[in-house]
Every structure is written in C-alpha cells, then in structure tokens.
Structure 1
Amino acid sequence: MARKGRTADRDGRMRLGEHLREFKRRFYISAAAIVAAAIGGFFLAKPVLYLLSAPLDDLKAAGLEVDLNFTNITQAFDVQMRIGFMLGLIIASPVWIWQLLAFVVPALRTVERRYVFGFIAAAVPLFAGGCATGWFVLPRIIRLFVGFAPDGFTAFLGASDYWDFSLKLVFAVGVAYVLPLVVVFLNLAGIVEGRTILGGWRWAVLVATLFGAFVTPAGEVLSMFIIAVPMVVLYFAATGIALLVDRRRAKRERRAAEVRA
C-alpha cells in the first residue's frame, strides 16, 4: 500500500514521475535540515577549532615551537565555514538518513528491510566509535610528526591544512570501523560466501593500503599504516563472522533436508 501523499496503481506501485517528485521532496527536506544545522554549526566552529588545536598547546608546554596560522585573508572564514558545514552534516544526519530510508525502504521486501535497519543500527555506533578512536589517536600523531622539527625551529601550521589532516584522519578511522560491517551484511543477505571473502584477502589488503595512502598526506607512511592496518584486521574479523554464519546456515539446511526426508 502506498504511503499517504503518494499515488499508486492497483498493485501499489508508483510511476517514474511520482518517484522523482518524491525524491525531490525528500532531497529538499534533507538539504534544508543540513543548511539550518550548518548555520548553527558555524557558531560552534571556533570552539571546535580550539579543541582540535589542543595538542599544539601540549607541544608548546613540552618546549616545541609550534603555531597554528591563517595564511591568507579569507582562510579564517573559509575554515570556519568548512567546519560549520561538517557539523551541520553530522547534526542533521538523523533527518537525511531517515529521508533516505523512507524513500528506499518501501520498495524492499520484509527481509531486506530488516537487513537495512539492522545495518543502520550497527553502522551508527561503529562509525561513532571509529571517529572517537581517531580523535583519541590524533594528538599522538600530531605530536609525532611535529616533533621531527629540529631544535630552534618553529613549526608554522596552516589552519586549513591542519583541519584537513584532522578531518581526514578522524573520518577515515570511522569509515574503517564500518567497512567490515558491509562485508557481514553482504554475507547475511546471501550475496557472497565467507570462502569468497577470505579468497579476496589480497585485494582487501591492497584496497586498505591504497585507502590509507589516499586519506593521509603524501609521504606520511606511518599515518597510512595507522589507517590501513586496523582495516585489514577488521576485514579478517568480518571474514571469520561470515564463515561462522555460513557454517550455521549449512547446518540449518542439512537439518531441513533431513526433516523433509
């Protein structure tokens, strides 16, 4: 049955034009929520930037000369705008995620809906936990690399570059925590078997390494491995879960076959 506000034929299906109008309506709602949240996020940008620069204060206390600088006239405004937009995207996430689900879920079967909602329910805390881990590791990485500055030199860090580095690191660790869940989701849906997942471990290592290289600044090999190694470990953990699910599924099928026999 079509949701109120949607017109449908006798089988409850919507025409293409109606799907497009529904998508446009939900897109506008999501965009309005993100813009409104980003405006509020703009006023929180300064406290967030101060919080991100806290590791630099620890470095100064340890005797290292390091300063965070705005390298051109518009950079202060640009950095705060970018932080505000990112905060808006995070704050408004319940709205745009719900709009996305409300558009997609009615077209799915009951089993598929259960998988989707289970995926979202698990992905949100995993992503939040990954971001929290990245936030915890961030000061140590900053201390490590800034600490390479020779004695008597001052490290002048551009605020825009500093924000990009911090965001990439935190976001990348969050994504790394979620990717194994995608593998488990595909296995539960019966799309891929655990043996197939295990057989692609070389590709998984390569993709994790390339991903780590992409989200970290060029030449920072250690940062790349800090991102890539947890992804590989979590991939093998997800593979183990998939193999266990396949084993239990095979047992259920054998029991069903014995009952029918």
Structure 2
Amino acid sequence: MASTETGRKNFLKKIGGKKATEQSPDEMSFIDHLEALRWHIARAVLAWLVAVILVFIKIDWVFDNIIMAPANPNFVTYSGLCNLGHSLHLGDAFCMPPVKISFLVNTVSGSFMSAISIAMTGGLIVAFPYLFWELWRFIKPALSPKEVKYSRGSIFWVSLCFIIGGAFGYYLLAPFTFNFLGNFTLGTQKMYEYKPTLDDYIDTINNIILGCGIAFELPILAFVLAKIGLISAKFLRTYRKYAFVIILIVAAIITPSPDWTSQALVSLPLLLLYEISVWIVRRVDKQKVQAEKEWS
C-alpha cells in the first residue's frame, strides 16, 4: 500500500511534465493529466506516420520481397523445411507442395488501398519500440523507485517479444496457412476458379503477424501482473487447464486456416509461453517473500 501511495504522489508530481514544476501536485487537475497524455499520443502518432511514409516510399520492394514472399514457392521456409527433412533422412516428409496463387484486384482503388494497408501495418511494426517507449514515459512517473528498478529493460523485452512473435507468424505460420489454403480444393470436379483478392491476402498476413506479435507478450504481461500482485504462480498452476482451452481458442482466432498443423504451430508456442510465464511469476513470488523477510 505504501508503494502505491508513493506512486500516486509521484504521478501527480511528474505526469504533468513542465507544468508540474510550476504548481503543486494538489493544484494539478484532471485536464493537466489529459494534456500530458495528449502530447504522448501526438508524438507516438507522429512517429508512426513517419514510419508509414518510409515504408510507403519503398512499397514496391516491401511488396515484392516481404509481403508476397510467403506465397512464393521459393520462400526460405519451404526450402528450409524440405532440406531439414532430407538431412534427417525423412525424405520429402517436411516438403510442402508449391504455392500457386494468382490474386485478384476487383476495385479501381484496390492496389492503392492495399499499399496503404501495407504501409500502415509496416509503420506500426517499425515504430513499435518508440510507441511503447512513449507509453512507458507516461506510466513511469506513477511508479515508485522500486517499481522503476524492477521494470528496467522493459522496453527491450517487450519489443523483443513482439518482434519474435511477428517473425514466428511470418516465417512459420503464414507459409503453412497459405500453403494449405492455396492447395485446398473443394469437390472432385474443378467447377470454379480460385482467385482470392489481394486485400484479403494482405489482411490475412497482417493479422497473422500482429496477432502473433501480441500473443508473444504473454510472459511480459504475466510479469507485470505478478509485480502488482494480481496473479501468483499458484493461481497460474490452478487455472492451467482453463488457460490451455483459452490458448486453443486464441490459436483458432489467429490462424485463418482450419488445418491442425497451423493450429498446432500456434498452440504449442503459446503453451510454452504460458509455462515460461509460470516460471517468471514463481521467481517474482520468491522475490516478494525474500523482501518481506528482509523488512521483518
């Protein structure tokens, strides 16, 4: 409770930026806090727009070498898995059939809007560390010195987990998804022509990358909740079976394809992340017990 009260006082002193140095904490109003938040949001949006513009300038290269790569039969994941199967003397067990998809643009502004969507998502990924840093700057004054000490390196770890999750979705989940959907056929007679729209493909790969990036923040979220006392290792172990069901549901939402391979590719890492979260929270609990012993 003491650290919480200290954090609130620090919040009132610092969150208003320069205005906090001109007036006492008791004189700061709710509008002052909104003003500070407004400037943090403005800087974050500006950084995101700069990243969006940079991605849009190189949109042709990004489209050819990044966006369309998972739908290319020469993508590194396809060749890498096939070579792995051969090195393990499993033949073509890990080799997937080549993807052959031709995309359709059925609106006048379709290509341009697809480019905007790519730039906006790419800008979000590029600017993510700075966006979180702005969020951290807003929250930090409300923390006690001890809490600030425990949270050192949070920007690095949050950004790292997001990047690892996005890379996992891009290099593993996306190829399996598009390979399955691109080679799936309905009916014994080919009575239709398979031509998905370009914006549907882009929305799918954007959702996969962002969904996996956010899902991989689970250990960081568990650490924060454990620090503020909302969860414990015992709590996570008790509700493990319910968490596994939720993870399976999340995996079904992230993966647009219904095949069990894609579901497993998402579920297994999330289950591993959950167990890592249990280990992290257990360490936090031990630190709290040790701190209580030192104070007593």
Normalised-by-shorter TM-score class: 0.7 to 0.9
Task: Using the TM superposition, name which of 229-238 and 112-121 deviates more.
Answer: 112-121
1:45 and 2:59 matched: yes
Task: Using the TM superposition, name which of 76-85 and 39-48 deviates more.
Answer: 39-48
| Aligned counterparts, 1:100-139, within 5 A | 100-137=135-172, 138-139=174-175
1:165 and 2:204 matched: yes
Contact 2:70 2:178 in 1 (8 A): yes
- Which one of 179, 183, 187 corresponds to residue 143 of structure 1? 179
The Cα of 1:82 is off from its aligned counterpart by 0.7
**Which residue of structure 1 lines up, in the alignment, with residue 245 of structure 2?**
206
User: How many positions carry a matched residue from both structures?
Assistant: 257
The Cα of 1:180 is off from its aligned counterpart by 2.3
The C-alpha deviation readout for 1:84-142, integer Å capped at 9, x for no partner, is 11122233334433322222211221122234444332111121112112221122432
The Cα of 1:199 is off from its aligned counterpart by 0.8
**Which residue of structure 2 lines up, in the alignment, with residue 223 of structure 1?**
262
| Aligned counterparts, 1:189-200, within 5 A | 189-200=228-239
Alpha-carbon distance in 2 for matches of 1:253, 1:5: 37
Give the RMSD, CA atoms, in angstroms. 3.2
Q: 1:14 to 1:77 in 2, by over 3 A?
A: same
**Which residue of structure 2 lines up, in the alignment, with residue 33 of structure 1?**
47
TM-score (structure 1 length as normaliser):
0.82
Q: 1:22 to 1:244 in 2, by over 3 A?
A: closer
Alpha-carbon distance in 1 for matches of 2:289, 2:151: 23
Contact 1:44 1:84 in 2 (8 A): no
Matched to 1:50, the amino acid is D
- Which one of 19, 25, 29 corresponds to residue 6 of structure 1? 19
Contact 1:56 1:67 in 2 (8 A): no
Contact 1:130 1:174 in 2 (8 A): yes
The residue matched to 1:67 in structure 2 has which SS?
A: coil
The Cα of 1:78 is off from its aligned counterpart by 1.1
**Which residue of structure 2 lines up, in the alignment, with residue 179 of structure 1?**
218
Name stretches of at least 5 consecutive residues in structure 1 with no aligned partner. Answer: none
Alpha-carbon distance in 1 for matches of 2:119, 2:58: 7
Task: Using the TM superposition, name which of 173-182 and 213-222 deviates more.
Answer: 213-222
Alpha-carbon distance in 2 for matches of 1:108, 1:13: 20
Task: Using the TM superposition, name which of 122-131 and 64-73 deviates more.
Answer: 64-73
Q: 1:231 to 1:109 in 2, by over 3 A?
A: same
The Cα of 1:35 is off from its aligned counterpart by 2.1
Alpha-carbon distance in 1 for matches of 2:278, 2:288: 15
The residue matched to 1:68 in structure 2 has which SS?
A: coil
Alpha-carbon distance in 1 for matches of 2:158, 2:282: 21
- Which one of 42, 58, 61 corresponds to residue 73 of structure 2? 58
Matched to 2:266, the amino acid is I
- Percent identical residues: 21
- Which one of 238, 242, 245 corresponds to residue 277 of structure 2? 238
- Which one of 59, 66, 87 corresponds to residue 122 of structure 2? 87
1:24 and 2:35 matched: no
Name stretches of at least 5 consecutive residues in structure 2 with no aligned partner. Answer: 1-12, 76-96
- Which one of 57, 65, 68 corresponds to residue 103 of structure 2? 68
Q: 1:238 to 1:29 in 2, by over 3 A?
A: closer
